[in-house]
Structure 1
Amino acid sequence: MTETTDTPAYQVLNHRRLPFPPSQVYGAFADPEQVKLWWGPDGFTNRIDTFDLREGGQWRFTMINENDREFDNIKAFIEVSPQRIVMQHIEPMHDFVMTMTFEPAGDDATDLTWIMDFAPGQDDGLAPFLEAANEQNFDRLETHLQTL
């Protein structure tokens, strides 16, 4: 998918209300030193090579699992604001656009929503795995924010 207006083959949606203000939740993603500490499902660590958080910027990083297997990733930022980040997953193998929203929710809370819109031809059998992995990612983010 090269544009956010394309009709997705399928969609993975995760939502969580976090007891932290939107600026803090957004900041945990906007700061590569923080994002490398919590990004990914359980058991993964990250090495960030490039993190250019601006429209047209790229994020190149390697996720490393508990068996030291490395997974290189490349994403391109399409839209960036403290309320919303949209990025195209370029490599490896999956073709999707991810939209992250950071919405105020009452006193010092944030409704965090991730939507992954997959291009036609993608295997929708991955959806249950990705939904669970995103929930682990949210767990890791929430734990990280509690330590700040």
Structure 2
Amino acid sequence: MTGTDTRQNDDTRIAADPALPTIVISREFAAAPERVFRAYTDPDLLIQWLGPRRLTMRIDAYDARRGGSYRYVHRADDGTEFAFHGVFHDVRPAERIVQTFTYEGSPDEVSLETMVFEDLGGRTLVTTTSLMSSFEARDGMLASGMEGGVRDGHERLDELLRGTPAAAEHRRIAGVFTERVRAVPEGGWDAPAPCEGWVARDVVRHLVEWFPEFLKSGAGIALPKGPSVDDDPVGAWTVHSEAVQALLDDPATAGKTLSNPHIGDIPLDTAVDQFYTADVFMHTWDLSRATGQDEVLDPEKCRQLLTGMEPIDEVLRGSGQYGPKVAVPADADVQTRLLAFIGRQP
């Protein structure tokens, strides 16, 4: 790329072409073009990343289609507002956006922005070219401090696309459970499980049945249904687990809330992490014990759960979700103490 490159110590590249009154901005994101494009065109996602962190954002209109228009306002803590508007000339899903851009503080200055989304095989390079009316207007834009806002917004978008800690934790915990599910030996699905009256198949049944109802009643979200656990426990678990992961990977999930009469209102991703992913982790031991597989759990996760559960012992016990605690030596390892706390015979 020719011209002055104002790249700093991050992944955003900003360049001014000496031959044309343009600003070219590029950055790679660790997500497929479809996800990145959606973050650029879905107002529920756009509001979570566009612009500097120090400003809040209000979207008055955002119709991302050819002939559609947009208007949004950034607001500083002192009440100062910065409004922008434009018209979409071309919108090609996961490929290209062409729009005008006007800062209402300088209403006579209109630039033409072209955003190209390039598939890098699981990553996306977004290149935005802003064509302005003159070199003076271009240089004035660069001098206005726009670079800091662009870099800040890109960092926020990168965080949004990479997902929440809850998404990463579910991927890790559910991944181990999936390994156990796939390794159940022939005839093993009817082997007795540590939970009274359960067989191995019922461990999967429990997870794929209670959570969808919890999610639907509390957040109005319906997960896709897989085959019957009786007919195909591996298939049932796979469809369910992938659906939960997709929910957590969706950037929109971070802005949603789950409401439950027992726990109140709680961010959706937090609710999944605390109530469901933790359940998957503990039931990994049940399935492993029932089917003769590796029973060792992550000790740090065991410690985290036990630390959070011990102070609310009576509440948990009263819920009926756990049986009576099992007595174990005081110097028992943390996995043994966690299993004993939830009523399992280690």
The structure-2 alpha-carbon separation of the partners of 1:28 and 1:123, relative to structure 1 and needing over 3 Å to count, comes to closer
| Higher share of residues assigned helix | 2
Given that 1:76 and 1:90 are in contact with CA atoms closer than 8 Å, whether structure 2 keeps it comes out as no
Question: What is the aligned-residue RMSD (CA, Å)?
Answer: 1.9
- Partner in structure 1 of residue 149 of structure 2: 133
Q: For residue 87 of structure 1, give the secondary structure of its aligned residue in structure 2.
A: strand
Paired AA for residue 63 in structure 1: H
Q: For residue 35 of structure 2, give the secondary structure of its aligned residue in structure 1.
A: helix
Given that 2:22 and 2:138 are in contact with CA atoms closer than 8 Å, whether structure 1 keeps it comes out as no
- Partner in structure 2 of residue 88 of structure 1: 100
Q: Deviations over 1:57-87 (max 9, x none)?
A: 1101111124332112111111111201011
Give TM-score scaled by structure 1 length. Answer: 0.84
- Partner in structure 2 of residue 56 of structure 1: 67
CA deviation after TM superposition for structure 1 residue 9, in Å: 5.7
**In the aligned structure 2, how far is the partner of 1:115 from the partner of 1:78?**
14
Q: Which deviates more, 70-79 or 121-130?
A: 121-130
**In the aligned structure 2, how far is the partner of 1:19 from the partner of 1:140?**
13
- Partner in structure 1 of residue 79 of structure 2: 68
**In the aligned structure 1, how far is the partner of 2:30 from the partner of 2:147?**
21
**In the aligned structure 1, how far is the partner of 2:125 from the partner of 2:27?**
6
> Does structure 1 residue 117 correspond to structure 2 residue 131?
yes
Paired AA for residue 10 in structure 1: P
Q: Which is greater in Rg?
A: 2
CA deviation after TM superposition for structure 1 residue 13, in Å: 1.2
Extract structure 1 runs of 4+ deviating beyond 2 A.
65-68, 128-133
Alignment of 1:11-90 (within 5 A): 11-82=22-93, 83-90=95-102
Paired AA for residue 124 in structure 2: T
**In the aligned structure 1, how far is the partner of 2:138 from the partner of 2:125?**
28
Q: For residue 122 of structure 1, give the secondary structure of its aligned residue in structure 2.
A: helix
Q: Deviations over 1:16-35 (max 9, x none)?
A: 11110000000111211110
Q: Deviations over 1:64-120 (max 9, x none)?
A: 1243321121111111112010110134214211111111012x1000111111112
Given that 1:76 and 1:89 are in contact with CA atoms closer than 8 Å, whether structure 2 keeps it comes out as yes
- Identity between Structure 1 and Structure 2 (%): 28
CA deviation after TM superposition for structure 1 residue 12, in Å: 1.2
Q: Which deviates more, 86-95 or 55-64?
A: 86-95
The structure-2 alpha-carbon separation of the partners of 1:130 and 1:11, relative to structure 1 and needing over 3 Å to count, comes to farther
CA deviation after TM superposition for structure 1 residue 123, in Å: 5.1
**In the aligned structure 2, how far is the partner of 1:105 from the partner of 1:85?**
18
**In the aligned structure 2, how far is the partner of 1:79 from the partner of 1:88?**
10
Q: For residue 40 of structure 1, give the secondary structure of its aligned residue in structure 2.
A: coil
Q: For residue 74 of structure 2, give the secondary structure of its aligned residue in structure 1.
A: strand
Paired AA for residue 137 in structure 2: Q
Higher normalized contact order (CA 8 Å, seq sep 6+, divided by chain length): 1
CA deviation after TM superposition for structure 1 residue 47, in Å: 0.7
**In the aligned structure 2, how far is the partner of 1:10 from the partner of 1:67?**
33
Given that 2:39 and 2:46 are in contact with CA atoms closer than 8 Å, whether structure 1 keeps it comes out as yes
Unaligned runs of 5+ in 2: 1-18, 164-250, 252-346
Equivalent residue pairs, number: 140
Paired AA for residue 46 in structure 2: V
Given that 2:23 and 2:129 are in contact with CA atoms closer than 8 Å, whether structure 1 keeps it comes out as yes
The structure-2 alpha-carbon separation of the partners of 1:68 and 1:144, relative to structure 1 and needing over 3 Å to count, comes to farther
Q: Which deviates more, 34-43 or 123-132?
A: 123-132
- Partner in structure 2 of residue 102 of structure 1: 117
- Partner in structure 2 of residue 4 of structure 1: none
| Higher share of residues assigned strand | 1
